[in-house]
Amino acid sequence: MPTSKTPSAIDLQTQFRAAMRRLAASVAIVVANGDDGPVGMAATSITSLTVDPPAILVCVNRATHLHALLVPSAPLSINLLSRSQQAVSAAFGGGVPGKERFQVGNWVDGENGLPVLEGAQGNLQCVIDTMLAYGTHSIAIARVLDATISGPVDPLIYQDGCYL
């Protein structure tokens, strides 16, 4: 298997990226504590891990500002967006800088000291148990300490660069 970016490796990466854009995923906002307050980003690489204990996986690119804040025992807020929250997703997807992102949507203080988004499909307040490095990303395994849901099931779904 090629270890450098040979033409076949580049072709595979291009094809893999194109294939994965076809995978529809719900959008969440992941929030952690930064030196100057909360830091958040939009993410689609989130999935449940176990119900006993309640745990979730969050995959984060190591190049993001959020990544440096993801360490074992750090609190984490995960907010599962509803279809009506496209503006929140766009803001946290890079459309709005830093702290200004939290001016989009109605954010309130959660029990773990991090903001949670009102009206989200669900809010998970967590603590990071483990970080695993793989390629350009890390996988955070977070234990869920509190989970709330609101409204009917109507998630914000992202596929091939568009909201569905």
Question: Tens digits of per-residue pLDDT, 112-124?
Answer: 899 999 999 999 9
Q: Is the pLDDT of residue 111 over 70?
A: yes
pLDDT recorded at residue 5: 62
Q: Is the pLDDT of residue 80 over 70?
A: yes
pLDDT tens-digit readout, 14-65: 999 999 999 999 999 999 999 999 999 999 999 999 999 999 999 999 999 9
Q: What's the whole-model pTM score?
A: 0.91
> Is 129 in contact with 121 (CB distance < 8 Å)?
no
> Is 56 in contact with 126 (CB distance < 8 Å)?
yes
Write the CATH number of the domain with boundaries 25-163. 2.30.110.10
Q: What's the sign of the alpha-carbon dihedral 43, 49, 54, 59?
A: negative
Terminal CA-CA length for the chain: 37
pLDDT recorded at residue 4: 59
State the Cα–Cα distance between residues 159 and 44, nearest whole angstrom. 10
Element containing residue 108 per DSSP (H, E): strand 107-109
Q: Which sequence spans correspond to the domains of the chain?
A: 25-163
Facing residues of 124 across strands? 78, 147
Kindly state the tokens that stand for 47: 């999935």
Listed in sequence order, the DSSP H helices in the chain are 7-20, 86-90
